[in-house]
Amino acid sequence: MVEIIRLLSERGPVTFAQFMQWALYHPEEGYYSRPGRIGKTGDYYTSPHVHPAFGAALALETETLWKALGCPENFTVMELGAGEGYLARDFLSSLIPELAQTITYVIVEPRRKMIPTQKARLDGPWQVQWLLRPEEAGEITGVILSNEVFDALPVHLVEKRGSELKEVYVSAESGRIFEVLGPLSSEEFFSEVAQFFPRWPEGYRTELHPASRQLLTTLAKVLKRGLIITIDYGYPEAIYYAPYRARGTLMSYWRHRLVEDPYQRVGEQDITAHVNFSALKRWGEPLGLEPLGFIPQGTYLVSVGLEKILSRLPPQGPKEMNQLKLLIFPQGLGESHSVFLQKKGDFAYHSPGLAIRNRLHLL
């Protein structure tokens, strides 16, 4: 925290996005540079930590795509930010042999400290490569997996003041972090929310996501033919910017507890913002990304087929079945997380995960 405070004191006021970038990704003090963040003893958990069915379902989806593309010999699965490697392990372990022997699994991991952990967990008969940036892969045919990545990208905070939209800036003095309001750092920001702005009450605060747009643009360039599968928590735009959501979606987590103040324990607690799935759809279409479906995670897993998923896994006891329920039921991750599929390329595709309750019309 000392170095981040120094940066804020010397360079502030900076946009909240810059503060969030330092708080999460500073190489020494950033939250994601620290071990033990995820799991029972950490600050939060993700679907791959809960049950291997999550990875097995995505493997079934990928196999369907591979066959739809004519079983190409050069087929790549790219995972963004593989964490401790659980998703990659479960995915690769669940593939049918003919695809497992063909596939190249690429992990895009800018956090070099995580790579040894991932390599140890993926010590198997698979072709796995590590890259620092997606564009290093060149053009690929296959699948790009994004599990709780977009929610961790830095966001800009804006606030309604009278007839103007102001931006939140962050600075520090005498070791104390504070906010100031100033003009928008980009002229494009107001147009992103112009249709919602008149209905917002005074002091309404929310987030804007230029980093998400930049990442999606990069992914669309990398993917020649195939799918982008985004799993995250978030909303359609009409809900995201609804008048009643007056404090936005920004939140912090520390030891599985919700923390409202992002300036506490800087570098020691997570900071996230929900995903605007409507924006991903709107930004993706001019890039050649056709939206296929938007569906709750639990419904997606049921649509893929629980019997098929479980047939890929070792026998499941009562404990494992209870963990599986956490992935599916609304009280767990089944409703809070959504799956969004975007297709690139001229080929017919029917996703096994979109058989029921596709909410694409909400975007």
Residue 191 burial (C-beta neighbours within 10 Å; 0-12, 13-18, 19+): exposed
Residue of 280, 290, 295 lying closest to 215 (CA atoms): 280
What is the model's pLDDT at position 138?
A: 97
Residue 43 has pLDDT above 60, yes or no: no
What percentage of the chain carries pLDDT values higher than 90? 71
- In CATH, 31-154+207-362 is 3.30.450.20: no
DSSP annotation of 271 reads E
Q: Which of 70-79, 138-147, 293-302, 314-323 shows the lowest per-residue confidence on average (mean pLDDT)?
A: 314-323
Q: What is the pTM of this model?
A: 0.94
Beta bridge partners of 234: 275
| pLDDT band at residue 44 under the 50/70/90 scheme | very low
Name 45's Cβ contacts closer than 8 Å, sequence gap at least 6: 38, 39
Cα–Cα distances (Å) from 123 to 89, 98, 120, 263, 302, in that order, read 9, 19, 5, 39, 30
Average pLDDT over residues 294-310: 91
Average pLDDT over residues 53-74: 95
What gap in Å lies between CA 246 and CA 130, rounded to an integer?
41
Residue 178 has pLDDT above 50, yes or no: yes
Render pLDDT for 199-238 as a digit per residue (tens, 0 to 9): 999 999 999 999 999 999 999 999 999 999 999 999 999 9
Strands, E assignment, 85-222: 104-108, 128-131, 140-147, 156-161, 164-173, 176-182, 205-208
| pLDDT band at residue 335 under the 50/70/90 scheme | confident
User: Which residue shows structure tokens 């909410």?
Assistant: 359
What gap in Å lies between CA 8 and CA 19, rounded to an integer?
8
Average pLDDT over residues 266-288: 95
What is the model's pLDDT at position 40?
A: 47
Average pLDDT over residues 270-274: 94
What gap in Å lies between CA 205 and CA 47, rounded to an integer?
29
Average pLDDT over residues 66-90: 95
What gap in Å lies between CA 94 and CA 100, rounded to an integer?
9
- String of DSSP letters for 180-193: EEE--SSTTHHHHH
What percentage of the chain carries pLDDT values higher than 70? 96
Residue of 284, 280, 259, 282 lying closest to 271 (CA atoms): 259
What is the model's pLDDT at position 268?
A: 87
Q: Is 72 in contact with 95 (CB distance < 8 Å)?
A: no
- Arithmetic mean of pLDDT over the chain: 91
Length of the chain: 363
